[in-house]
Amino acid sequence: MPEHTGETRNEQLTRNVAELLQELRVAQAGVQILFGFLLSVVFTDRFHDASGFEKSLHLAAVMLAVASTALLTAPAAWHRLLFRTGSRERILTVGNRLVLVGLVCLALAITSTVSLIAKVVYGEIAMGIVGVLSALIFGGLWFVIPIRLHPDNDDDTQPTGPPK
pLDDT digits 0-9 by tens, 71-108: 999 988 888 888 778 888 888 889 899 999 999 999 99
Helix 52-81, helix 88-122: angle, nearest 10: 160
The sign of the CA dihedral 124, 52, 49, 46 is negative
Indicate the burial class of 162 (C-beta count within 10 angstroms; 0-12, 13-18, 19 or more): exposed
Bigger pLDDT: 64 vs 156:
64
Whether 39 contacts 47, CB under 8 Å: no
- Residues 129-143 have pLDDT tens digits of 999 999 999 999 999
Which of 63, 77, 79 is CA-nearest to residue 31? Answer: 63
Alpha-carbon span 125 to 145, nearest angstrom: 28
Lowest mean pLDDT among 116-120, 137-141, 147-151: 147-151
Alpha-carbon span 118 to 135, nearest angstrom: 14
Whether residue 145 has pLDDT greater than 60: yes
pTM above 0.85, yes or no: no
Whether residue 152 has pLDDT greater than 80: yes
The sign of the CA dihedral 64, 113, 124, 57 is positive
Strands in the chain per DSSP E: none
Whether residue 156 has pLDDT greater than 70: no
pLDDT band for 2, please (50, 70, 90 cuts): low
What integer pLDDT is reported at residue 163 of this predicted model?
Answer: 39
Whole-Å CA distances, 68 to 29, 32, 42, 94, 148: 12, 10, 20, 15, 25
- State the number of CA atoms in the 13 A half-sphere of 75 facing the CB: 29
What integer pLDDT is reported at residue 121 of this predicted model?
Answer: 94
